[in-house]
Structure 1
Amino acid sequence: MPNLPFTLRQLEVFTSLSATRSFRRTAELMGISQASVSNQIKTLEEQLGVSLFDRKPGRRPTLRSEGLAFLDDVREFNRSAEALASHRVADPSEGGRVQRYRVLVGQGMFDAYVRRKLDSFFAQNPNVELEFEAQLPFGQLIRAVESGSFDFALINQRADFPVHEEFRELAMVRGGVYGHRKYAAGRTLPLTPDELNMLPFILPKATSRQEREVMRNYELHGIRPRNVIGHTQYYDVMAAMLERGLGVASFSEAILPPSMREEVIQLVSLEDWRLLFFRKDHGIDARYDIVADFLVNSVLDDPNYPAISRPPAPARSHAPAGK
Structure 2
Amino acid sequence: MGNLPFTLRQLDVFASLATVRSFRGCAEQLGISQASVSNQIRTLEDQLGVVLFARHAGRRPALTAEGIAFLDDLRGFNEAAQVLARHRRVSSDRPARLRLRIRVGQGLVDNFIRPRLDHFLADNPDIAMEFDAQPPSQKIGDDLIDRGYDFALLHLRADQPVPPPMRAVALLRGGIFGHRRFAEGRSLPLSREEISALPFLMPNSGSVQEEMVLRSYRKEGIMPRQVVASTQYFDVMATMLERGLGVASFSEVILPPSMREEVIQLYPLEGWHLVWYRKDQGGDDRLDRVQDFLLSALLRDANYPTVKVFDPAYA
TM-score where L is the length of structure 1: 0.67
Kindly indicate whether the alpha-carbon contact (under 8 Å) linking 2:141 and 2:164 is maintained by their aligned counterparts in 1. Answer: no
Q: 2:156 matched to 1:145? A: no
Structure 2 CA distance for partners of 1:225 and 1:94, relative to 1, 3 Å? farther
Please state whether the residue corresponding to 2:153 is helix, strand or coil: strand
Paired with 2:241 and 2:137, the residues of 1 have a C-alpha distance of: 20
Cα distance in structure 1, aligned partners of 2:311 and 2:131? 27
Alpha-carbon separation, structure 2, partners of 1:185 and 1:139: 36
What does residue 202 of structure 2 align with?
203
In structure 2, C-alpha distance between the alignment counterparts of 1:153 and 1:94, rounded to whole Å: 30
What residue number does 1:285 align with? 284
Matches within 5 A, 1:1-323: 95-147=94-146, 149-313=148-312
Alpha-carbon distance between aligned partners in 2 of 1:139 and 1:114, rounded to the nearest angstrom? 24
> Counterparts of 1:274 and 1:287 in 2: how far apart (Å)?
26
Compute the displacement of 1:165 (Å). Answer: 2.8
Within 1, Cα distance between the matches of 2:150 and 2:270?
28
Q: CA deviation at 1:137?
A: 1.9
Q: Secondary structure at the match of 2:307?
A: coil
Distance 2:289 2:125 in 1: 12
CA distance in 1, matches of 2:313, 2:299: 15
Q: For each residue in 1:260-304, what CA deviation from the matched residue of structure 2 results, as whole angstroms up to 9, or x when unmatched?
A: 000000001001111111100111211111111111001011110
TM superposition shift of 1:164: 2.4
| SS of equivalent to 2:294 | helix
Report the Cα offset of residue 166 of structure 1.
2.5
CA–CA distance in structure 2, aligned partners of residues 293 and 244 of structure 1: 36
CA–CA distance in 1 between the matches of 2:230 and 2:138?
Answer: 17
Letter in 1 for 2:310: P
Deviation at 1:204, TM superposition (A): 0.6
**1:213 alignment partner AA:** M
Q: Which runs of 5+ in 1 are unaligned?
A: 1-91, 316-323
Deviation digits for residues 147-176 of structure 1, max 9, x if unmatched? 251000001111111222322222111000
Question: C-alpha distance in 2, partners of 1:312/1:152?
Answer: 17
Q: Larger Rg: 1 or 2?
A: 1
Displacement of 1:201: 0.3
User: Aligned in 2, Cα 1:312/1:127: closer, same or farther, shift over 3 Å?
Assistant: closer
Distance 1:314 1:181, change over 3 A: closer
Q: In 2, are the aligned partners of 1:108 and 1:136 still within 8 Å (CA)?
A: no
CA distance in 2, matches of 1:137, 1:175: 14
State whether residues 159 and 272 of structure 1, in contact with CA within 8 Å, keep that contact through their aligned partners in structure 2.
yes
The TM-score, its normalising length taken from structure 2, stands at: 0.68
Distance 1:175 1:143 in 2: 25
- Cα deviation, 1:231-276, whole Å, max 9, x if unaligned, reads 0111000000000000000000111100000000000100111111
Equivalents in 1 of 2:311, 2:118: separation in Å? 29
Q: Deviations over 1:299-319 (max 9, x none)?
A: 01111010111114379xxxx
User: Who is 1:55 aligned against?
Assistant: none
Instruction: Supply the distance in 2 between the matched residues of 1:195 and 1:104 (Cα, whole angstroms).
Output: 38
SS of 1:179's equivalent in the other structure is strand
Number of equivalences: 224
CA deviation after TM superposition for structure 1 residue 96, in Å: 4.6
1:271 alignment partner, SS class:
strand
Distance in 2 (CA, whole Å) between partners of 1:203 and 1:158 is 16
User: Displacement of 1:123 after TM fit?
Assistant: 1.0
Amino acid of the residue matched to residue 275 of structure 2? L
User: Aligned to 1:308, what secondary structure does the other structure show?
Assistant: strand
In the alignment, the residues of structure 1 paired with residue 191 and residue 93 of structure 2 have an alpha-carbon distance, to the nearest angstrom, of 62
Q: Are the aligned partners of 1:171 and 1:307 in contact in 2 as well (CA < 8 Å)?
A: yes
1:193, distance to aligned residue in structure 2 (A): 1.2
C-alpha displacement of 1:94: 5.8
After superposition, the CA RMSD in angstroms is: 1.7
Amino acid at match of 2:193: D
Please list every run of 5 or more consecutive structure 2 residues that lacks an aligned counterpart in the other structure.
1-90
Q: In the aligned structure 1, how far is the partner of 2:166 from the partner of 2:140?
A: 12
